[in-house]
Structure 1
Amino acid sequence: MFVLNQASHLEEPWLQFKNLLVRQLAFCVCSPNILSDTPPELVLKHTFQFHDNAIWHGHFENYRARLLYLDQHPQELEIFLQQLKSTRLGLRFEMFIWFWLLEPDYHPYQLLGHSIQKIAGPRTLGELDFLLFNTESKAIEHWEVALKYYLAERDFSLPYWYGLNRSDTLLRKLNHFSQKQFQFEDALEHKIEQRFAVLKGQLYLPIESKVSAIPNWVNLQRRLGYWGSHIPPQSADFYRLQRQEWICPQQHISSDTAHWWSNGLYLQKDKNNFYMYRNLPLLSQTVKG
C-alpha cells in the first residue's frame, strides 16, 4: 500500500500567492511537465521535446516580481480571463500560458501567433497552439499545451495511464502530439525549428498497488497524487476541491470535510496530498490505449 505522503524537497512556489487566479497562473507557467521525457516505447512520427525542469524554474524567477504585483492587483488578469467562456480546464490553462507569453519583459519569447489554423483548400489540417521566436536560441518554436490528469493502472507502463474519460489515455495523447499536432514544418511563413509539448497537470498512483517501480519518464519533480475507489486513511482530514482548484487549490480550505464522498479530487489538509476518488461502478474493464 502506498502511504499518502510526498518528498518534502519539491519546490511548489505557486503556493506562496494568495489570489486564486495568480496561484493558477504561477502553476501553469512555473510547474514542471508531468513527464520528464518521451517514453522510449512511444513510436514517434514527428519528434518533439519537453522543457527541462530548470527552464520552468528560471521562468518563475523571471516572473516572480510580476506575480507578486498581480497578487495584490489582479484586475488585469481577471479581465483577460473574461474572454474565456468555456469552463474546460484545458482551455483555461492555455489562457494562462497566453497571458504570460504576451508579456515579453519576463521571458525570452516573442509571440508570433496563437491558435494558428493550417488550411488546405476546404480542409482544416490542424491548429498550432503557439508559434514563438526564442530570442536566446534564435529558433522558431512550436508549442502545444495541455493540462492532463492520468491515473496509473496495472504495471504503470505507458498503455495503462487513463484519464477520467477512459478513452483519454496518456498513450493516445502522446500519439496525438507526434502524429497530428507536430506534423507541420512551417507556420505564418516561418520554418519551425523546435517543437515542445507543454504537458502539465498531475499523475496519480493507485493507493493500493504491488508495483514499486515508477517509470523513469514520470517527472518526480511534480507532486504525484493517489487514486482509489475507497475512502483513504485519515479521511477526516480531506476536503473536496472545486473544479477550478484542480489547477491549483485556493490558499484556504474551500469546502467542508468530505463526510459523503462522490467522484472528484480531494486534498488532505495541511499535507498537500491529493486523492482522486473514483466510484467503483464507473471503472470499466481496462482497454488498450
Structure 2
Amino acid sequence: MTKNEITETLLAFEVPAVRHLAWLCLAPQLLRHDFRFNPASHLSPAFLETLTQWDQNPETLPTRLAEDPERRLGHYFERLYEVLLRDLLGWEIVLQNQQVQAEGRTLGELDFLVSNSDTGQLEHHEIAIKFYLGFATGQTRVRWYGPNARDRLDLKTERLVNHQSRLCQRPETQTLLAGVGVNEPVTPRIFMPGYLFYPTEQLLPELPAQVPKGHLTGDWMRIDAACQQEVSCWVPLFKPDWIGPWAQSAAPDAALARAALERVGNAGVPQLFAIMARHSESGRWLEVNRVFVMPLQWPGTAA
C-alpha cells in the first residue's frame, strides 16, 4: 500500500483502538535493519476484515483492546502489540515485560518473547513508538530529538540494535530462559513505527541514514510562528491519539486550538496538532497533515 492508501484505510475505522491497531499493522517504520519485524508479511490477507468486524461490532473486541486506553503511550502501545501478536497473528506469547537481573541490578527487560507460528522459531521482540523532530545544529549536521529532547533518534536506535535486541545473548538471560524451559536459540526482532517531523522554516541538509525513505512525516514550528497561523482547521491531539491519523464528525474548534497554543507558550510544553479537511463524501473531518508546536527554548541544552 502507498501512504495515501494506508491513510484512507485507517480513516475508515471509527473505533479509535481499532484504528490504532490497524496503524500498527500497516505503518512504515523508522529503522532500516536486518532485525526489523514487518507484521504485514505475517498477517492473514483477511486481517482487515477482522478489524472491520471489530469496528462495526465493538462488543466483539478482544478484552485487552476494549480496555480504556492509558495516557502513557508506551504502555498503550505494548497493549496494542499484544493484541496484534495474540489475536491477529495467533502467536503464543511466552514471556512479556520480563526483567533480566544480575547481582541485584537490572540489565534490561524483554518486551516480548513469542513463538512465531510461521517459522516455528522463538523470537525476542523489542518495540517502540517514536516521534522525532529534525533540528539543524550547524550547516551540515542534523539531530533528531523527541518532544522531550533527552530522547534522540540515533541514541535510541543504537540502544535498540546493540543492547536491547541482544539481551537474549547474555548468559544471565539464557539462565532465566532455561528456568522456564526455553533452551533453543532466540531470533531478535525490532519494531519501531513512528513519525519524523520536519521544520517549516528551513530545509534540512541531511536525512537520517537509518530511516527508510517511505517513513511517515509531519511538520514542526515554534510557538511564535504557530501564533501567526490560521488555526481554524487545527485539532490538538492528546495521547494515545498521537497514533495514526485523526478523524472526527464535528468541525474543528478554533478556540480549542488557540487555547492549546496558549498552553505551549505559558507552560512551555510541546503540543501536537492534526490539520483537518472535510471529506466531501462522508462529511467527516479527516487529518491531512500534523504539526508539532514547540516552546521557544526547545531543545534547550540538549542541542
Question: TM-score normalised by the shorter chain: which range applies?
Answer: 0.7 to 0.9
Give me the whole-angstrom Cα distance separating, in 2, the residues matched to 1:286 and 1:78.
41
> In the alignment, which residue of structure 1 is the partner of 2:299?
283
Shift of 1:86: 4.8
Which residue identity lines up with residue 188 of structure 2 in the other structure? Answer: R
> In the alignment, which residue of structure 2 is the partner of 1:211?
204
Show CA shifts across 1:160-202 (max 9, x none): 1101111111122122223431222243424343211111221
Larger radius of gyration: 2
Give me the whole-angstrom Cα distance separating, in 2, the residues matched to 1:162 and 1:33.
17
Shift of 1:89: 0.4
> In the alignment, which residue of structure 1 is the partner of 2:117?
135
Shift of 1:127: 1.4
| Matched pairs, number | 267
In structure 2, the gaps of 5 or more residues are 265-269, 278-286
Give me the whole-angstrom Cα distance separating, in 1, the residues matched to 2:145 and 2:78.
22
Equivalent residues in 2 for 1:18-57, closer than 5 Å: 18-35=14-31, 37-38=32-33, 49-52=35-38, 55-56=39-40
TM-score (norm 2): 0.76
Residue 221 of structure 1: SS of its match in structure 2? coil
Residue 168 (str. 1) matches residue 168 (str. 2): no
> In the alignment, which residue of structure 2 is the partner of 1:228?
221
Residue identity (%) = 24
Give the helix-richer structure, 1 or 2. Answer: 2
Q: Aligned match of 1:11 in 6, 22, 26?
A: 6
Give me the whole-angstrom Cα distance separating, in 2, the residues matched to 1:158 and 1:212.
7
In structure 1, the gaps of 5 or more residues are 1-6, 39-47
Equivalent residues in 2 for 1:61-80, closer than 5 Å: 61-75=45-59, 77=61, 79-80=63-64
Show CA shifts across 1:120-163 (max 9, x none): 45343321111122222232211011111111111798971101
Residue 48 of structure 2: SS of its match in structure 1? helix
Shift of 1:267: 1.2
Residue 273 (str. 1) matches residue 289 (str. 2): yes
In the superposition, relative to structure 1, how do residues 68 and 119 fare at CA in structure 2: closer, same or farther (>3 Å)?
Answer: same
Residue 92 of structure 1: SS of its match in structure 2? helix
> In the alignment, which residue of structure 2 is the partner of 1:116?
98
Question: Are the counterparts in 1 of residues 42 and 89 from structure 2 also a CA contact under 8 Å?
Answer: no
TM-score (norm 1): 0.79
